A = this chain, B = another copy of it.
């Protein structure tokens, strides 16, 4: 059983955009009870990740960490066709994630209590972003589901 859809959004500059509820809705729509939900960001200058969903300070700390790891205008980088945040965005994309798979258990995303799914915009300006969502699995519980 296979299901595929996309998510299109316009980001509002650097920062986290929650996707958890939207992905959870797609899992419900798919009818899959036991399976996998794969998410793929079709860009190399933004990110896709699961991280802490409770204290907004965590996201600000992650953003500070990313800026220290690959600062805008870093003299190490030559590629700056789209500005001082161009190459840092490619580095952040690679190090911090652009694709992931979340298990589906009992018809729902198998996230832990403190986990959320986020698109992390790495560019400073507003950007159009596209995400492919591929869900596979079976509609009943797994023949050998041991949970």
Contacts and interface: CB of A to CB of B under 8 A. Distances in A.
A2 B60 contact: no
Given A58-B87, A65-B70, A44 B112 contact: yes
A41 B115 CA distance: 10
Given A99-B100, A142-B3, A64 B44 contact: no
A61 B70 CA distance: 11
Interface residues of A, number: 70
Interface residues of A: mostly helix, strand, loop or mixed?
mixed
Interface of A: 1-6, 29-31, 34-36, 38, 40-44, 49-52, 55, 57-58, 60-62, 64-65, 68, 70, 76-79, 81, 87, 90-91, 93-103, 105, 110-115, 130, 132, 134, 136-138, 142-147
Contacts of A51: 44, 90, 93-94
